Structure 1
Amino acid sequence: MKSLRAIILLHYFLFAVQSAPISSSGPLPAFREAAERAKTLVEKILRDIPTVHAATIHTQGLTLDSAHTANLQMMMTSLDIPAAPVLKPLSERFTLDVCVSRMAAGSQLYQGLLGVLCERVGGLSDLRADLRDLLTHVNKMKEVAQLGGAAEQNHSPNLASRLHGDYEVQVAVHLTLTQLRSFCHDMIRSLRAAATQRPR
């Protein structure tokens, strides 16, 4: 009788363990994979930005690590180069939906800016192609996780009509690359956090 009870208990225990969800709180594998691919591509973009900057910028004083002066801030406004979407740590107010939507909006923004600049400067097309691929991975994250965040309204840059001379072009490339670098640093932090989440 004791052995029968032991067998029943053992059977019950094994059934309970077997039927328990394996990783109900972990991230979806396809979502995590898309986030990792996006992160790898962002890291590549970050590695390439200094090389691209050195190859395209020949105006003295426009170095990648130079601080933005008041003059550059004014140029940013006059060239109508929008600021990147802000990425924050995930929270109840800054949800995964909002975060991924902003990553997509930023990728699209810089792809568009580089598209305009590619017509005036050589050496930017590979970076633009990487941003196109990055947007694909971010959209894949939205798709597999069924994120329903509202699409971020992208400011449509009116950059082409403001590039009157070589100096404006140089400043526009410099500002775009420095902002893209900052956005990519924020994006890596966001992708690391996103990869650990289980979308609802």
Structure 2
Amino acid sequence: MNSAIALVLLLCFLLPHLVLSAPVGSPAKPPPAFTEAAEHAKTLVEKILKDIPAAHAAAITTEGLTLDPSAQTTNLQMMMTSLGIPPAPVLKPPSESFTLDVWVSCMSAGGRLYQGLLGVLSDRLSGLSNLHADLRDLLTHIAKMKEVAQLGEAADQNHSLDLASRLHGNYEVQVAAHLTLTQLRSFCHDLMRSLRASAAYRLPSPTHSAAGTC
């Protein structure tokens, strides 16, 4: 056997082992800037959760509208539909079908939703402007997370104009503010749980380029 044939046979033997041992774009740990932005976001979410009861007390004067979950009635659920207030995007633990880019996109969509709703309500009620500003800052940190991790963009969602056109009287304004603050509190609890676990999240592999949707 000459040396050329021997070399070809050796390469044929080694090639499968070389392919199997090559890295296959496995998910990577988020960079420090991502973790830092997530920590800033968590601090803001904690502040929002702390401030919601005071904002509710300042803005809501209609009797029977409280933050007690047991006080939520079927009538309020019907009002939520009639006012066009959508549910917040669902935040789930990351998986193959709910990857990091989907998670960050859902955080962003939820933040934009409540910032838009509170923007409309702040024109009609006092006590909501600080929450509106905090949500703006929260979105800044979420955008930083998305930028650092080079994640996909979520489709823009703006429900504020729908709400504005349905606020015909003070009662509708009061109910809309109550429902918005109640849902914002629930969304922030989910968001806090997700942010606490963000250190264990992994960035999508380089071959994963699809934008997340909620």
- TM-score, with length taken from structure 1: 0.84
Whether the aligned pair in 2 keeps the contact of 1:96 and 1:194 (CA below 8 Å) is no
Contact 2:30–2:149 (Cα < 8 Å) also in 1: no
What residue is the counterpart of 1:32 in the other structure?
35
Query: How far has the Cα of 1:153 moved from its partner?
Result: 4.7
1:195 and 1:56 mapped to 2: Cα distance? Answer: 36
Amino acid at match of 1:81: I
- Opposite residue 176 of structure 1, the aligned amino acid is T
Unaligned runs of 5+ in 2: 1-26, 205-214
Corresponding position of 1:112: 116
Percent of aligned positions that are identical: 72
* Aligned residue identity for 2:88: A
8 Å contact kept, 2:109–2:156: yes
The runs of 5 or more residues in structure 1 that have no matched partner are 1-23
**2:189 alignment counterpart:** 185
Would you say the 8 A contact 1:145–1:199 is kept in 2?
Answer: yes
1:82–1:155 contact (8 Å) kept in structure 2: no
Which residue is 1:72 aligned to? 76
User: 2:88 is matched with which residue?
Assistant: 84
Cα deviation, residue 65, structure 1: 1.1
- Count matched residues: 176
8 Å contact 1:56–1:123 — kept in the other structure? yes
* TM-score (normalizing by structure 2): 0.78
Q: Which residue identity lines up with residue 96 of structure 2 in the other structure?
A: E
Note the C-alpha offset of 1:74: 0.7
4+ long deviations beyond 6 Å = none
Q: Contact 1:111 / 1:131 at 8 angstroms: preserved in 2?
A: yes
Answer yes or no: is the 8 Å Cα contact 1:118–1:124 preserved in 2. yes
Match of 1:54 among 45, 53, 57: 57
RMSD: 1.5
**In the alignment, which residue of structure 2 is the partner of 1:173?**
177
Shift of 1:194: 2.2
Deviations 1:158-198 (A, max 9, x none): 11111111111110000000000000001111112223323
Write out per-residue CA displacement over residues 110-169 of structure 1, whole angstroms, 9 at most, x where no aligned residue: 000000001100111110000000000000000001112x41452524111111111111
Q: How far is 1:98 from its partner?
A: 0.3
